[in-house]
Amino acid sequence: MKRTLTSLTLPLLLAACSAPPTEQAVTTSTTTTETVTITPAPGTTTDPASTSTDQAAAPATEDGCLKLAYPLPISYKGDPLNTLCNGYYTAGYSELDQLTRVTAEQLTPNMLEGNTSRTDDFREDDRLHSTLRPTLNDYAGSGYDRGHLAPAADFKFSPTAMSQSFLLSNVAPQNPELNQGPWAGLESATRACARETAEPGGLTVLTGTLGDTGKLKDDQVTIPAAFFKLWYSKEKNDYRLWVLPNTSLPKMSGAEYRKYEVPLHQFREFWSDFPGAPTQLAEQQYGTLCPGVMPLKQ
């Protein structure tokens, strides 16, 4: 069953998202009934924190997974998510949708100080079954960008981390104008907030996909209706949360991003199994974290 965003009540988002698609049978053969934690990421030839450079910058891990200040969702609207641990970010992957529904990072200022170049080595994630994972061919000629969830620019401190960000389990079909415009601006703001808060354990960043507007050309990989990004500061007990429709959006000023900001309680009404904050947040109110980091370069 296709899941749309019609439960989210943000008026502007509803206007921007396409009408709910007609229902069709799910073609995936998955029989997953519980979450599975998979580690390490393919291409990791050493312990993720084994080098002195990586060790100085990387957030804390346990058994190959990040120690997160905000709990990672283990299901999306009843669909269990496989947990993919990559050392520097963690992904919650839906076999049903062949799409990652959420990634989590603990973003520290040190992670943003490196000079590692983009590797652009997009590749399949061999930890996932060959019939239940996206391929390069799925995206070829589709008209959609391979939009990063955990951005490559967050991992300039480490060649290993940079390469891991190009796993196809860390991308989603994203409108090119959104990816290269407002979404890039929001990613830049996230890094600015991580520098500003400078929390010892890092700014918690959850990024993900919502809804379903169809499939890529091979009728397997779900095209999300929207993307979200959540910042959470444990020390400041504050957050910010945006939901942007997966459509052509022009570049925005800082004030224009406000139109796509939502309070946490409203977001959790749509994604009912999204965890609440581990601290007593005022979920009924908009977050106020890092108010000065926008507008941004796009």
Question: Binding site residues for Mg(2+), as ranges?
Answer: 179
- The one catalytic residue in 133, 146, 148, 156 is 148
Structure tokens at 183: 């979404």
Binding residues: 179
Judge whether 148 counts as a catalytic residue: yes
Task: State the catalytic residues.
Answer: 148
